[in-house]
Structure 1
Amino acid sequence: MSRVHIVIPARFGSSRLPGKLMLDLAGKPVIAHVVELAMTVADSVYVATDHADIYDCVSKLGANAVMTAITHNSGTDRLAEVAEKLVFADEDIVVNLQGDEPLMPTALLQQVAKLLEVNPNAGIATLMQPITQFEDLINPNVVKVVQGENNSALYFSRAPIPFPRDEFSFDATTIPRGDYYRHLGLYAYRVKTLKQVTQMAEHPLESLEKLEQLRPLAHGVKIVVDVAQETPEHGIDTLEDLERVRRLLHVEFN
């Protein structure tokens, strides 16, 4: 049976909020909350970082920290380095939990791992949610996904997809007839696929849409996608996000 590992890519640098993973959140660093969250779901939890402060923080929590190269272009590359260093089995599953998502529902971590477990021909699993607002459908920052048979992802795009040719108007205010889904950036990888993805050349579709998930899809990797059981809170990208999460945790703890 495949083992499930949660790996948390934790890069110290951030263009919008430098050092955000070490900022205080309800009395402890952001990364500490994420690690504790992951440890309630899986026995195998690793933080993949490029910075000594994060490494030391995680180690003091009694969790597993792995120093990774500072040259990685993506969290996927950082995950692959951990899988190589720790010699994960090819059929093991790695769930990618971002280090700035302290409020990620544990049910979604379990769901995305299970989705890959029950789809043995897939290399990657991810989640989606219905789009209910027209503004989200036409917003290029809201990534859309279309699904085929057997949960297979057909395409990801910043454009409105599928496109109802006879009904669509950018002047509309309501969602046209059809099913539209927002892609949630939570992934589970089969280890052998994770290693393959880091060796793939950038694909023109990936470059065009600026969507990393189009690389494996365009190279023939089967990606499965399902509707998320819960709605996750947005992660921490800005100081405003940090203050929002602080308020949410204050309500939760009081």
Structure 2
Amino acid sequence: MNAKVLAVIPARYASTRFPGKVLHPIAGKSMIARVYERVKQARGLTEVVVATDDERVASHVQALGARVLMTAPEHPSGTDRCFEALQKSGAHYDYVLNIQGDEPFIVPAQIEALLALIDDAHKLEIATLIKPIERLDELKDTGEVKVVLNTRGEALYFSRYPVPFVRDMPLEEAWKHYTFYKHVGLYLYRADILEAVCYLSPSMLERAESLEQLRWLEHGYRIHTAITSYDSVCVETPEDVQKVEQMLAQGLLK
């Protein structure tokens, strides 16, 4: 793979449920430090940067030896922040990887699975990760985004509800006979596609499900998927910090 890939970790300080969460320590190490260190371990990335709108985050990340790109505070999503980071990077990149700043236990192999989808002709537009759903409660949880695919492994639709709907049997039985996938929120964009989707207006399906990737599908962009066996571990509240610290102590996270 000869593509140049910029990995961007959007790291806002403001958070409705957990202000300053990217700087919060998890077992003695800040969340953003854990994310950055793990992303740096992935093979195939040209550069890794942290994109933030807050000087406190910038100072902390620079102390880690990471490159920081200051971005505007009003971005509606991490996608928009990634595009501004690309614009300010000062170099040419073929692809941009968007890594959530609140996933401190991201596995480098997850990143490498996405990078493996890049072809020499750079036909790949957008790619993301999916994981087979293994528990019924996950399938029923509207906080877990589900996805259905076509025969080429491209996403057909994302929903907070269980899809596909199995007409002839209850969900409690259907999930034993059909493969359901959930979305793992890691995105790889071709650079020109990232620019294009940032200029699109919110779409009907996006507003209905509150999922920005539906905007891209509605406008005809293709989202390829790679299957991962690793789950995402998001830290969105102070209670989540306690949970992951307990999991670390029990050896359930590394």
Q: TM-score, normalised by structure 2?
A: 0.90
Return the offset for 1:105: 0.7
CA distance in 2 between counterparts of 1:47 and 1:200 reads: 24
> Any runs of at least 4 consecutive aligned residues in structure 1 with deviations exceeding 4 A, and if so which?
250-254
CA distance in 1 between counterparts of 2:221 and 2:14 reads: 31
Question: What residue identity is the alignment partner of 2:80?
Answer: D
Q: Which moved more, 1:187-196 or 1:158-167?
A: 158-167
CA contact (8 A) 1:103 1:232 kept: no
Match of 1:144 among 134, 140, 146: 146
Q: Secondary structure at the match of 1:145?
A: strand
Return the offset for 1:25: 2.3
User: Can you list the C-alpha shifts for 1:133-158, whole angstroms capped at 9, x where unaligned?
Assistant: 33332322221111112211111111
CA contact (8 A) 2:4 2:46 kept: no
Cα–Cα, structure 1 residues 249 and 139, in superposed 2: closer, same or farther, change >3 Å? Answer: closer
| Counterpart residue number, 1:26 | 27
Cα–Cα, structure 1 residues 174 and 146, in superposed 2: closer, same or farther, change >3 Å? Answer: closer
| Counterpart residue number, 2:59 | 56
| Counterpart residue number, 2:216 | 216
CA contact (8 A) 2:39 2:106 kept: no
Return the offset for 1:173: 5.7
CA contact (8 A) 2:131 2:231 kept: no
> What aligned pairs does 1:57-136 form with structure 2 within 5 A after superposition?
57-89=60-92, 92-117=94-119, 120-136=122-138
Q: Secondary structure at the match of 2:116?
A: helix
Question: What residue identity is the alignment partner of 2:235?
Answer: I
Q: TM-score, normalised by structure 1?
A: 0.90
Q: Which moved more, 1:63-72 or 1:16-25?
A: 16-25
- Matched length: 250
Query: Structure 1 residue 239 and structure 2 residue 242: aligned?
Result: no
> What aligned pairs does 1:126-205 form with structure 2 within 5 A after superposition?
126-167=128-169, 169=170, 172=172, 175=175, 177-205=177-205
Return the offset for 1:251: 5.2
Q: Which moved more, 1:112-121 or 1:128-137?
A: 112-121
Return the offset for 1:101: 1.1
CA contact (8 A) 1:236 1:242 kept: yes
Return the offset for 1:57: 0.9
CA distance in 2 between counterparts of 1:74 and 1:80 reads: 10
CA contact (8 A) 1:93 1:113 kept: no
CA distance in 2 between counterparts of 1:194 and 1:128 reads: 20
Gaps of 5+ in 2: none
CA distance in 1 between counterparts of 2:224 and 2:121 reads: 8
| Counterpart residue number, 1:14 | 15
CA contact (8 A) 1:134 1:174 kept: no
User: Can you list the C-alpha shifts for 1:46-76, whole angstroms capped at 9, x where unaligned?
Assistant: 0000100110111111110011000101000
Q: Which moved more, 1:111-120 or 1:210-219?
A: 111-120
CA contact (8 A) 1:31 1:99 kept: yes
